[in-house]
Amino acid sequence: MTTAKGVQANVLIFSEHDYRAPRRANLQPIADALVRLGHDVTFVSVRYSLLSIIKGDPRNAIRANVPEVYNGIQCYLWRTLVHPFNPGSVLSAFAAPLYRVYPSLRTDFVTEAIRRASVIIVESGLGAILLPSIRGLNEKGRLIYYASDDLGIIGAHPAVQQALETSRELVDFVCIPSRKMASNFNWMDARLYYIPHGINPADFGGSLESPYSRRWNGVSMGPSLFDPGFFEHAMTAFPDVDFHVIGCGVKMNARGNLRVYEEMPFKETIRYIRNATFGIAPYRRAVGSEYLSDTSMKLMQFDYLGIPSVCSDFAAGDHPYRFGYRPNDPQSIRQAIQGALAIAEQHRPKRQFLTWDDVAQRILNPKAFPDTRL
């Protein structure tokens, strides 16, 4: 298999997201890009079981254990009787056996998908514990660990980190979207590559009607490390600004100048982003979360469109149109929003990013691109 020369690959992706779900993470546009580049793509969603159904998992509307072709991608929601979970540090030892058993619960579809793949991409999360069984079923395929997030940030059980590090000789290479994550992968030595997230310019083209009825509007999308406390301070300090929260993952009640929306397909969120006065990335602080200044897709989208953003100080980085605040600090929240409003009507240059096609090509063969070197 020589994907660098454009030979078609059979690519298998393991992710905790489902390709068909409304919420867009980075693996969905990467899968789309792989299809555009001429590759066959199978997308398997993991960490789903009867426990997920009881908990009200957003994937419950998708049929499980039934392959479906969607947008040219073979999709499969892999449901098991139970799945491993992290009950917290005190009880983590009791959950550890589930992590040893889970890889053996695979269905015939998953087993055959692994065997026929020429490239296998395993995203950070529960999929890391599958690495030994994947290599056991497929000795020749290119096995890639794609670190969308630090395992500690997403609350992974210690068994997942242990499985990842003990699989270092099984993995061909690791891709990270931020150089700030490199120190977590010293054990990969020279097989670690930097590949930032991308943007699909076509997503943001054309004229999109504004959904807003007032002049000043701030918008936040997604549940990652979402801090509802930001809005308690912001909506009171700025009664003339409407604050729009889309798919935050926690229960919030719309009131006053706070507007709350259920999760919606990415394409529907674009008109909210394009027409916003400023974007909001209300991350709560977590150990090691500094890499979000590079990997936050919502902040990238604001930057690409030239929209100022208000975000937690550790996610601001050195970007001139991001206004950082200290979480739970009303005064710094006020100052950040004032800063964004002050330049809202000024011309701001848009940041340039790789396209998702660029990203997909680098994931398949990072050695061919000098900019991936650390």
The verdict on residue 348 lying in a domain is no
Domain span including residue 140: 3-198+355-372
Q: Are residues 217 and 330 in the same domain?
A: yes
Q: Are residues 121 and 171 in the same domain?
A: yes
Cα-Cα-Cα-Cα dihedral of 335, 340, 342, 348, to 10°?
150
Q: What is the pLDDT of residue 245?
A: 98
Per-residue tokens: 331: 């005064």
Please identify every residue annotated as catalytic.
149
Q: How far apart are the two ends of the chain, measured CA to CA in Å?
A: 25
In this prediction, the residues of the chain whose per-residue pLDDT falls under 70 are 1-7, 89-92, 94
- The secondary structure of the chain in percent helix, strand, coil, rounded to multiples of 5, reads 40, 20, 40
Which 3 state secondary structure label does DSSP give 111?
helix
Q: What is the pLDDT of residue 206?
A: 75
Q: Are residues 36 and 80 in the same domain?
A: yes
Q: What is the pLDDT of residue 309?
A: 97
Q: Are residues 139 and 256 in the same domain?
A: no
Q: What is the CATH number of the domain that holds 243?
A: 3.40.50.2000
Nearest to 278 by CA among 307, 257, 250: 307
CA distance 95 to 88: 9
Q: Which pLDDT tens digit goes with each residue over 328-341? A: 999 999 999 999 99
Q: Are residues 223 and 311 in the same domain?
A: yes
The verdict on residue 347 lying in a domain is no
The verdict on residue 350 lying in a domain is no
Q: Which pLDDT tens digit goes with each residue over 295-305? A: 999 999 999 99
Going by the DSSP 8-state scheme, the letter that residue 349 receives in this structure is: P
CA distance 96 to 127: 15
Q: Are residues 37 and 133 in the same domain?
A: yes
Q: Are residues 207 and 193 in the same domain?
A: no
Cα-Cα-Cα-Cα dihedral of 248, 251, 255, 259, to 10°?
20
Burial class (CB in 10 A: 0-12, 13-18, 19+), 109: middle
User: Do residues 300 and 199 touch, judged by C-beta distance below 8 A?
Assistant: yes
**What backbone torsions phi and psi does residue 151 show, to the nearest 5 degrees?**
-60, -35
Given the structure tokens 């953003």, which residue do they identify?
Answer: 309
Total domains in the fold of the chain: 2
Q: What is the pLDDT of residue 140?
A: 96
Task: Put the strands of the sheet holding 142-146 in their side by side order.
Answer: 68-70, 73-80, 40-49, 10-15, 119-123, 142-146, 173-176, 192-194
